[in-house]
Structure 1
Amino acid sequence: MRMVAVRMAAPPSLSVFHGPVPEEDDVRDPAASGRTGRPVRSRADVSSAGPGETAPGPVEGVPRERDECLPREQDVPLPREQDVSLPPEQAPSGPTVSGVCHGTLGELYQGPLRAGPDPEIAVVSFPVDRHSWVHFTPRATVGPAPLAPPLGEKARRAARLFLDHYGLTLPPGDWHTHSELPVGVGMASSTADIVATLRCLFRVFRLPYDLQVVLGVLAAIERADSVFLDEFALYLSGRHRVVRRLGTDIGFHTAFVTEPGTVDTAAVTPLLLDHYRRRGDEYQRCLTDLVKGFDSGDAAAVARAATVSAALSQEVLPKATFGSLLAHRQRFGADGVFVAHTGCLAGYLYTARPRAHVKADLSAFFHSLGHQCTFAQGGYG
């Protein structure tokens, strides 16, 4: 876990609003919001080596809902550089405002949206009850800048994009951040940091939460997981497009390990795409079975499909522990195996909470493989 406490100051041209903060369920209406921000638009050249801008067709066996995306033919406007000088310790001038976002335990599926020569990378992220927090406490006066940066690089860029979009200036204040999500292992730590920062800023300025603004900011910064949604979704990570929402009926208990090392997603994307072309039909069947499991509320079927996706991933980005996990799955009564496909996580899926003696046996098993076991709840059901 990491914790950073910093303070931020900017020209006090805009005071912080006080009073009730709008919920994220509010739908943004630019005319009603009292501000007319320039539209944040997604761009085709996001930070990804993924496929080009071919419009996805229907996936056989996967019912399709209305796509939720931004116009793809226009760019996100680059922001002005903002003054991010920070004040010294002073008495707060207003209440602390916070933004929170959950992370992931890799994915239940990562592969092509459909079989074909030009695959697009689709994911069904596996939400976990671990979070990133961003807090902002307004201050009365401005002071000199300290040595530490106010936020991580990507979160700072997200804040600048947000302020530029709405034409706002951040008032003097302190940033504090905290995260339960390790960096670089497949838990969506950077995306969660960005989303938590944006959620905090929506609340600082009492603006209705606007998912399209969030998607536009993400598209300008990185390939992302769907942690901005509080439900499962089939998601095109390079295009920042929700293909289909999968609801909140499915949940799992997990036992997993974090293997050493990191994965450079951009560097391995060409390998992934070649693999998806070769095994497109197998991925097509896997995705169809996964979505059917979500549609019927059958967690065991979802776990079986997740195991297939993990096994297919093993052919191109292998996990050292995967073979042992698969071989001993029935011994430990697990319903499936999951991985962070471009990360370092591997573990078991359980549709019911493992009893204490099973947790002890699992811990001993993972210890014999050279790893400390972690237990966590994933999903929603």
Structure 2
Amino acid sequence: MTVLAPIRRTSRSVTDCPNGVGHGVGIAHLGEILQGRFDDDGRLTHGTVTLPYPRKSSTARFRAHAEEALVVVPHWRSKARRAAGESLRSLGVTAGGVLEVSTTIPTGRGCGSSTADVVASIRAVADSFGTTLSAARTAQLAVRAEGASDAIMFGDRVVLFASRDGHVIEDLVLAVPRLEVLAVDLDVSGVDTLAVPSPVYGRLELSTFGALRGLLRRALIDRSATLLARVASVSAEINQRHLPNPLYDLMVDVQRRVGAIGVQVAHTGTVMSLLFDPTDPDTVLREAMAIRLLDAAGIHRHWHYQVGS
């Protein structure tokens, strides 16, 4: 595991808190476009590329005070509390404060609810002291706070992210190309990401991940929804062997029947998506057909959104 870099601290106090109250936001995602193990300066590291879902988010509000106690509302958001504590220490602050967190993200579905809480909290603490932490530093603090993190702090910029180590394996710089997404929720009990074991991939699978990494670069450069969907589909197929999703076979069948360009999975959650090309004049019809097939199969929790640029 990568040792996280030390954070340079400068002494601060509550009197250095120019904004009084700080605010922060962390967006949701819908799972992974790509998940596997990748070459990372000569060693294999578990990495993910997430599919952003900016329609849902967590928001945080932080007010520092001279006492060292750190209070979070609601009290059970322990990861957000740890994130605020890590942020205060990184800023060299010995004071405490009150952190209020709210969210529109469903929990336990693989949509990054805890990471969104954590990122929003880190940003709120920094904002209260009139500063903004880089995405890379935010990622380090997030992993310290929750053990594993998604890459939502990078916004719409695509990165191959070492989710348990807190660093970027490869910064692909660009945003995902435009995609039409039809997301589906299994409507089963939630998933604890940290409780899910890391898959042990075979040699052929590891080789395929390297090829998918190259295909992902090409998809971003060419702005190709079709190539991006291919990456997501092959990644989903490989990870189905290790982290089986009971909806997978149904979604693949619906994809083929309606002509969707791919399938995408939240590998440590309960959501999956069908991917469509927004430039296809038949996309609206294809999505409508997919919804009818899903409803007929008893899958009624689905929603549509567009992502990318």
What TM-score bracket applies, with the shorter chain setting the length? 0.7 to 0.9
CA offset digits 1:67-91 (Å, max 9, x no partner)? xxxxx376679xxxxxxxxxxxxxx
TM-score by length of 2: 0.81
Aligned mate of 2:151, from 222, 226, 230: 226
* Residue in structure 2 matched with residue 332 of structure 1 by the alignment: 258
Asked if 1:305 is matched to 2:227, the reply is no
Aligned mate of 1:208, from 108, 132, 141: 132
Aligned mate of 2:101, from 169, 172, 177: 177
How many residue pairs align between the two structures?
A: 290
Q: 2-side partners of 1:161 and 1:147: how far apart?
A: 14
Q: Deviation at 1:287? A: 2.4
* Residue in structure 1 matched with residue 197 of structure 2 by the alignment: 269
* Residue in structure 2 matched with residue 241 of structure 1 by the alignment: 167
Q: Secondary structure at the match of 1:331?
A: helix
* Residue in structure 2 matched with residue 315 of structure 1 by the alignment: 241
Asked if 1:133 is matched to 2:52, the reply is no
Pair 1:147–1:329, CA change in 2 (3 A): closer
Q: 2-side partners of 1:147 and 1:114: how far apart?
A: 39
More helix by share: 2
More strand by share: 2
Q: Deviation at 1:149? A: 4.5
Tell me whether 232-241 or 212-221 shows the greater mean CA deviation. 212-221
Q: 1-side partners of 2:171 and 2:43: how far apart?
A: 24
* Residue in structure 2 matched with residue 257 of structure 1 by the alignment: 184
* Residue in structure 2 matched with residue 196 of structure 1 by the alignment: 120
* Residue in structure 1 matched with residue 293 of structure 2 by the alignment: 365
| Code of the aligned partner of 1:279 | E
CA offset digits 1:77-124 (Å, max 9, x no partner)? 9xxxxxxxxxxxxxxxx8864211111110100011149x97421111
Q: Secondary structure at the match of 1:320?
A: coil
Tell me whether 353-362 or 302-311 shows the greater mean CA deviation. 353-362
Q: 1-side partners of 2:190 and 2:302: how far apart?
A: 18
CA offset digits 1:24-51 (Å, max 9, x no partner)? xxxxxxxxxxxxxxxxxxxxxxxxxxxx
Q: Is there any run of 5+ residues in structure 2 with no aligned partner, and where?
A: 9-18
Pair 1:100–1:204, CA change in 2 (3 A): same
Q: 1-side partners of 2:218 and 2:287: how far apart?
A: 30
Q: 2-side partners of 1:191 and 1:172: how far apart?
A: 21
Q: Secondary structure at the match of 2:153?
A: coil
Q: Secondary structure at the match of 2:138?
A: helix
CA contact (8 A) 2:25 2:59 kept: yes
Q: Secondary structure at the match of 2:197?
A: helix
Pair 1:305–1:365, CA change in 2 (3 A): same
* Residue in structure 1 matched with residue 84 of structure 2 by the alignment: 159
Q: 1-side partners of 2:121 and 2:57: how far apart?
A: 12
Q: Deviation at 1:288? A: 2.1
Q: Deviation at 1:240? A: 1.3
| Code of the aligned partner of 2:165 | R
CA contact (8 A) 2:38 2:45 kept: yes
Aligned mate of 1:105, from 30, 39, 64: 30
| Code of the aligned partner of 2:148 | R
Q: Deviation at 1:202? A: 1.6
* Residue in structure 2 matched with residue 217 of structure 1 by the alignment: 141
Q: Deviation at 1:131? A: 1.1
CA contact (8 A) 2:263 2:272 kept: yes
Aligned Cα root-mean-square deviation (Å): 3.3
Q: Is there any run of 5+ residues in structure 1 with no aligned partner, and where?
A: 1-51, 54-71, 78-93
Pair 1:162–1:376, CA change in 2 (3 A): same
TM-score by length of 1: 0.67
| Percent of aligned pairs with the same amino acid | 24
Q: Which has the larger radius of gyration?
A: 1
Q: Secondary structure at the match of 1:113?
A: strand
Tell me whether 279-288 or 101-110 shows the greater mean CA deviation. 279-288
| Code of the aligned partner of 1:201 | V
| Code of the aligned partner of 1:297 | R
CA offset digits 1:322-355 (Å, max 9, x no partner)? 1122122143231111001222211201121876
Asked if 1:374 is matched to 2:288, the reply is no
Q: 1-side partners of 2:33 and 2:177: how far apart?
A: 12
CA contact (8 A) 2:148 2:194 kept: no
| Code of the aligned partner of 1:283 | F
Q: 2-side partners of 1:127 and 1:308: how far apart?
A: 19
Q: Deviation at 1:264? A: 4.3
Specify which structure has the bigger relative contact order, considering alpha-carbon pairs within 8 angstroms and separated by 6 or more residues: 1
Q: Deviation at 1:225? A: 0.9
